Structure 1
Amino acid sequence: LDFTGSTEEAKRLEAEKGYVFVSAFDDEGIVAGQGVCGIEFLEDAPEVDALIVPIGGGGLIAGTAIAAKAMKPGIKVFGVEAARYPSFTAKRAGLPPVCTGQTIAEGIAIKAVGDIPFGLANALIDEVFVCEEADFERGVSYMATMEKTVCEGAGAGGLAAMLANPEAFKGMKVGIELTGGNIDARMLAVVLNREMVRERRLLVYRILGDDRPGMLSAMAAVIGGLGGNIIDVVHNRLALDVPAKGAEFDIMVETRDSAHADEIGEALKERGYELRMG
């Protein structure tokens, strides 16, 4: 079951067995309790000009906005949603939400924002940023590598919004609410590697060359001589668009940055190797 299905099942059990159903966000008591986050944030950092809060069902941002603006009326409160689940943004525009697909921000993948938190928070929220999957991945990666803090996709939503919209926060002291660290080791590793690919610190050089002894070692000498770290090599003799006496070499290399990646690529070309991609 997804979150919507879980809610429907909980309500079925409520009707069948007489249980008391308490929504995780569409409840005045829950909103009030989550306002503690805004209170404690401003008690610890009263100098902040703005807070960024991830939005799923809306309970956290509603409580935070009410508390923060009561304590500091001039503070700005921004929300962040996943592009695949923009339910708050759609409700603001009077449109039905279009929510579908997989997202790394599972914690805010809610198909319909709660009526109670929306009614309380809408007038208090200055702007809602809708972020793409790559933004959330970058937020998770930066938190892990720079802050040494493990965040799930939704948990890093505030940083994702800042990284995707730097001009919107220029000159501000901004507080971001880290809302969770529920990410498994495999997914964290995938996200970190994907960010390395985006930054071209991990890339594949596809080289066409003769299939003769010494070719691979010669290529490796060029790469290693410039400080590239070879991670993996795939030697393909069966590609039909390569001459029968040739081969295709896919060499995965770890580099320092994009400029270093270009430096290695140019050196390979200068040595006469034909690069198909880099």
Structure 2
Amino acid sequence: MYRMPQRGWTRLALAFSCSLPMLCQAKPLSAAEQAFVGEYKQSSVDTLAQLLLTDDHTFCYSFMGGARDRLLAGHWQAVPGQASRIRLTEQRASQPLFPVLLSATPGEAGKVQFDFHGYSLSEANRPGFAIGTDENLPGALRPLFVEDKSSWSESYLTPALAKAQARYFYLGQLELTPSGQPGLLKVSQYPLKPGQQLRVGFDAAQAEALLDAEAELKRDTLYIQGGRFGHRQPAKAELVAQARESCIQPILANKPAPDSEPDSGTAGQMLKPLRQFTLPASALQGAVWFPEQAE
């Protein structure tokens, strides 16, 4: 349903051919900027975070541990007038918060079935779902699962729904305020293509705020937003090439798919949301779609 980052940049780049102009035509570094270039690590018993700052003003950040790995890339720039500070700015292509794929499983003619991917949706905050017979937007979404659900099945399958019941469908999750309270219900509208199963998941990376942070170098130790990250080490050429090939280039070159309607007969193709809108938190109401606990 979604791509997991490669652990520790495990693919080794045997050769590096620069295909991105922004990487090949980098502005030369000042002496103060050069002092930042290198590898930084932060580790505990069961986690490892790595940050690589390259000499072309790009970076790769890898985190392994906990429920989900992370792999980020972006650019770094010196903070004007402050030789010991830089700003890290993540770059990420905009992708659907709820990926919806056409399944290879054939459906009944004139009907559609939704197959919800429980593992990825467990990372959503109170996900909701609704169907509609026309273009009028719904005033409410029903929760997919009970609020205190703690165990998850791989798959939650709805009964087959007739085309007349669902020309459009809606997926949303509650956004949280800075204080952790329920905010607005962020909803995406999708067109319905009857005749197949639709596989629905959740992309937790898209729900996270983009990294935009200041870092300071003190005696070869990097501090990010005031917190100690790690000691600077020179990065080996192998590691730099490896990170460029498997982290920096793929992420910085990743662009959203062009506007086009998916072919209803192509398995594995992702549906594109028609629009996004918000509803008040109270709009998440009614009986849950899947009330049972997974075994």
Q: Output the TM-score relative to the length of structure 1.
A: 0.20
Q: Considering Cα pairs closer than 8 Å and 6+ residues apart, tell me whether 1 or 2 has the greater RCO.
A: 2
Which has the larger helix fraction? Answer: 1
Q: Output the TM-score relative to the length of structure 2.
A: 0.19
Larger CA Rg, structure 1 vs 2: 1
